[in-house]
Amino acid sequence: MSARGVIGVLIEDHFDQTEYRLFNEFFPARGYEVRYLSHLWGNPSLTFGGNPDNGTVEEHVTVTAEVEDADPAQFAAIILIGAYAMDRLRYQVTVAKGRPNAAPAVEFMRKVLRRPGLKVGTICHSLWLLCADPALLRGRRVTCAHNILCDVENAGGEVVYAGESVADLVIDGDLISARHPEVTTEFLQALVKEIENPS
């Protein structure tokens, strides 16, 4: 473990490549380890590809940490990476009427959000994961990609608007949300500030 702690990043196929690159530069430069987590479906590891910007998958990540086995106490913060990865992580093999989403990543986020002081970062489309259980999002002030505004609001999130857009960045307690990959650096700076100088 690095001196400052571990940043856990939930990831799956079709992750945002811009965010991925910046995470891998920004956190190690400030003394944090980045550890990627996913549901591995019984495999010792799985390799995921980024969202194909300009028709090309440029980034791949091999994940060995199973989210089902992860302990929130091991992390300084948890980030949900953007693009379509979080939609994939909320998938359940079996469903039943009235039963809450039981995808391993959703179950993990229930534990994470019950842990006071553990910072959670979301960006762009990644609030999709919390939309899988409205109890995780209801009443929280957030921002997100314009594409998923209806999903977030229908799940009870309170989106913060800014003119004809949404806010670039919103901090609501331990939840730090950002609008789009173009504000990733601002998002990461805010997240580290919240980790190191909790209010």
The count of residues in the chain is 199
What is the reported pLDDT for 45?
A: 98
β-strand pairing of 169-172 with 77-80: unpaired
Domain range annotation of the chain: 6-196
Say what the pLDDT of residue 2 is: 59
**Helix, strand or coil for residue 29?**
helix
- CA distances in angstroms from 58 to 20, 53, 172, 189, listed in the order given: 11, 8, 34, 25
Q: According to the model, what pLDDT value does residue 33 have?
A: 97
Structure tokens at 56: 């090309």
Q: pLDDT for 66-104, tens place per residue?
A: 999 999 999 999 999 999 999 999 999 999 999 999 999
Share of the chain above pLDDT 70, in %: 98
The answer to whether 177 and 77 are in contact (CB under 8 A) is no
Q: Which fold has domain 6-196?
A: Rossmann fold (3.40.50)
Rounded to the nearest integer, the mean pLDDT of the chain is 96
| Closest to 175 in 3D by CA, of 111, 125, 128, 122 | 122
Write the CA distances from 107 to 17, 64, 79, 92, integer angstroms: 26, 19, 15, 11
